[in-house]
Amino acid sequence: MSRILLVLFVAVLASGALAADGDALYRTYCSQCHGITGHGNGINAPHMSVVPRDHTNASEMGKRSDEDLFKVVAEGGSSMNQSILMPAWSGLLEDDDLHALIRHMRALCCE
């Protein structure tokens, strides 16, 4: 758990320099759990009670609307009856950043 808190602290420090670059935002805020390539195999994944979503799985990601992805990234997993381990990022990221993250997730699954 302390490793996750450390990663979140580093993410807070780095947030000002990222603007709306989806790849950079993903690497900073998402890769610790979802992995740099989005396969759900980040450094925190083995220590989590819920396996992080594989953002490269086109079938699974195709079931999620952009609005649903925005809500879960902005408000956390519990907002969509998903894992409480998924944090809410709206307190740190602007809407443009959240949309950039969603575009990047779509690129991971569909390109």
Q: What's the CATH code of the domain at 36?
A: 1.10.760.10
Predicted confidence at residue 111, as pLDDT, reads: 80
Instruction: Tell me, rounded to whole angstroms, the distance of Cα 33 from its chain centroid.
Output: 8
Predicted confidence at residue 15, as pLDDT, reads: 47
Global pTM reads 0.80
Domain that holds residue 20: 2-110
Separation CA 89–CA 29 (nearest Å): 8
Q: Two tokens at 85?
A: 């381990």
2-to-6, 21, 41, 45, 47 alpha-carbon distances in Å:
6, 28, 18, 14, 11
- Which parts of the chain sit beneath pLDDT 70? 1-19
Task: Please state the domain count of the chain.
Answer: 1
